[in-house]
Amino acid sequence: MRIVMAVIRREYLQRVRSKWFVFGTIAGPLFMIAIFAISIVFGLRDEARERAIVIVDRTGVLYEGVASRLGESLEVERVEFSEGVEAVLESRIENREILGVLLLDESTLSAGRAVYRGVERPSTLRVVWIRQAVVESALEVRLQGASDAGGARALLDGGEVEYQALDGEDPEANDRRAALVVGFAGGFVLYITLLVYGIQVMRAVLEEKTTRMVEIVISVVRPGQLMLGKILGVGAVGLTQLGIWVLSFLLLLTFGLPYFLAARPELLAIQNAAEFIPQAGGLALFGVFFVLGYFLFSSLYAAVAAMCSSDEEAQQTQMPVTILLVLPMMVLAPIIEDPHGPLGTWLSLVPFFSPILMFPRFMAGAPFWQVGVSLLLMVVTIVIVAWIAGRIYRVGILMQGKRPTLPEIVRWVREA
């Protein structure tokens, strides 16, 4: 055990200290923080320079509606129309006392047209927003004459289309659809991480070969111990990296998001995204699929590396293993369409595809027994694959030069 620990420690420290790791792990969150920070800084700067918008309402009926709609995030000031007021306001704009002037007149009421005067071009978002406030207010005013103004106002607040399935599908189906999307995002994350860390294990195993250290190490550390140490060491690096990312993401959500929303209130909708973060059960299952998937694929990549003597050779030889990871990504589209159809059900039970396909299906409400069966099949497969990979490893790790043929590999497995 002490030996395995030494191997894990070496693998872990060497990787965690590498420039690649420091850059990849720290740069990721920093990039995220930078984006947030930039929005906040720009947002705050806008807000700091925020001056009132003057509304000149020549209709006399629109101001209340427009002001209340814009007032949520802008300061508005009412100025009555009179001769020469425009010149006064323009000089105020040029003196940076106010941001701009919104001119409302009869054409606003009749056709929803308004004029905004200023020296700083407003953002597209703000234009949309002002237009919406103006049009809604105009509609509201014109509806006041109608008999059923209350109902019409309800229409203004936005309608809803409810889906009713003929076969009595339960009403939560829509939520499940959203959950499925989140699930597939999770599956995609699994795909990327399994691929990235699998390749890392391959590199790690090749290290002993390319540095010619293998014989010295193997003379004391059994090949099985070395392989285990490599897999656990790289796995620990992966967990560290994911841990740093998740932690900085949570920190951002907790401390950064309020500032962000304060600066950019129009993006309030992103708060809703939090609803789609899977609950504890889903997260735990994600973890289980990651760990099992990692053991499965890292053993395969370790075996590949054991057969090869150089990075280039390993790049070619890894194809079959990588295809096992890519295949489920290729059938993703039909499975998103029909997650619990025969294709989705059967493929997600294939151990090599389970992490990428079964996790999203679980999020979309696949029966527990199917998840259970897929986990069980994965465990059994891991045992078998680890056994075979260990035997390939034991023989292959000492090989230099020619890559073995398939019959030779079969012989290794039998004879090792």
Binding site for other proteins (CB under 8 A): 2-3, 6-7, 10, 13-14, 18, 207-208, 211-222, 398, 400
Whole-angstrom distance, CA of residue 142 vs CA of residue 140 = 5
Nearer to other proteins, 8 or 382 (CB): 8
| Residues 78 and 67 sit within 8 Å (Cβ to Cβ) | yes
**Shortest distance (Å) from residue 174 CB to other proteins:** 53
Taking the complex as a whole, the smallest distance from the CB of residue 313 to other proteins amounts, in Å, to 18
Residue 9 or 121 having the CB closest to other proteins: 9
Q: What are the b/e assignments for 292-301, b being 16+ CB within 10 Å?
A: bbbbbbbbbb
* Least distance between other proteins and beta carbon 10 (Å): 5
- Of 38 and 220, which CB lies nearer to other proteins in the complex structure? 220
Minimal distance, residue 387 CB to other proteins, in Å: 17
Nearer to other proteins, 198 or 223 (CB): 223
CA distance 236 to 249: 20
Residue that has been written with the tokens 């990692």 in this structure: 294
φ, ψ at 404 (rounded to 5°)? -70, 150
Smallest distance from other proteins to CB 4, Å: 10
Q: How far is the CB of 299 from other proteins (least distance, A)?
A: 22
Token duo for residue 354: 């389970």
Q: Which is nearer to other proteins, 9 or 96 (CB)?
A: 9
Query: How many whole angstroms separate alpha carbon 265 and alpha carbon 115?
Result: 24
Q: How far is the CB of 3 from other proteins (least distance, A)?
A: 5
Q: Which two tokens stand for residue 209?
A: 């070969």
Query: Which residue, 113 or 222, is less far from other proteins as judged by CB?
Result: 222
Express the helix, strand and coil content of the chain in percent, nearest 5 each: 70, 5, 25
Smaller CB separation from other proteins, 219 or 279 = 219
Residue 268: name the closest of 42, 43, 30, 49 by CA: 43
Neighbouring-strand partners of residue 57: 104
Extract the runs of DSSP E, i.e. beta strands, from 209-288: none
**What is the spatial distance between Cα 103 and Cα 130, in angstroms, rounded to a whole number?**
12
